[in-house]
Structure 1
Amino acid sequence: MLAILVITLMAALVVGSSWPAIRDWKRATDQDEARERAAPAEPVAPAESLEGVLVRQVIDHEITPRQYRNAMHRLAERDADRHPLPDLPGDAPPG
């Protein structure tokens, strides 16, 4: 019986001593949320390149990471066709 009384008293002391800290944390959280709601949203700058558009779509969950990789692969192939690297001196021809 005495053990139950001691445990109950200890639990009450823990809760009682933690309560002010919990109230301060709750108050700070509420103030942060109010500040975020009051702050105007920053306008999103338009993407400057296709890569930027793809990254933004992945971040906004408009496309999947697999779709992003496939699009980047096609973009790299297109870039290689449009702007091939020059042959380096001393390279043997293929075949």
Structure 2
Amino acid sequence: MLVVVVITLMAALVVGSSWPAVLDWRRATAGDGDRDRAAAPGPPGPAESLEGVLVRQVIAHEITPRQYRNAMRRLAERDADRHPMPGLPGDAPPG
């Protein structure tokens, strides 16, 4: 009988001492939604590069990921033609 009383008192002590922490936690998590809405970014500004335009189009679902990859591949090929990288020592010459 004494064991039951001691266990009940200890459980009441644990619950009573942790209750303020639970209330603080609930208040903090309830306020997170307000902070998330306040911190949400606005509409993005104008794109400054072709890559930015392509990313914006993918995000807005104006083009498919496959179209994005193809456009990026063509962009990389164009860049390689315009600005070729110098060969490394020991590389065989092209062709």
TM-score, scaled relative to structure 2 = 0.54
Q: Which moved more, 1:25-34 or 1:37-46?
A: 37-46
Name the Cα RMSD after superposition: 4.0
How far 1:76 sits from its partner (Å)? Answer: 0.6
The percentage of aligned residue pairs carrying the same residue is 68
TM-score, scaled relative to structure 1 = 0.54
Cα distance, 1:22–1:67 mapped onto 2, change above 3 Å: farther
Tell me the SS of whatever aligns to 1:19. Answer: helix
Q: How many matched pairs? A: 91
Cα distance, 1:7–1:55 mapped onto 2, change above 3 Å: farther
Separation in 2 of the partners of 1:4 and 1:71? 73
Tell me the SS of whatever aligns to 1:7. Answer: helix
Per-residue CA deviations over 1:74-93 (Å, capped at 9, x if unaligned) read: 32113223x142767x9874
Separation in 2 of the partners of 1:33 and 1:77? 45
How far 1:20 sits from its partner (Å)? Answer: 0.8
Tell me the SS of whatever aligns to 2:48. Answer: coil
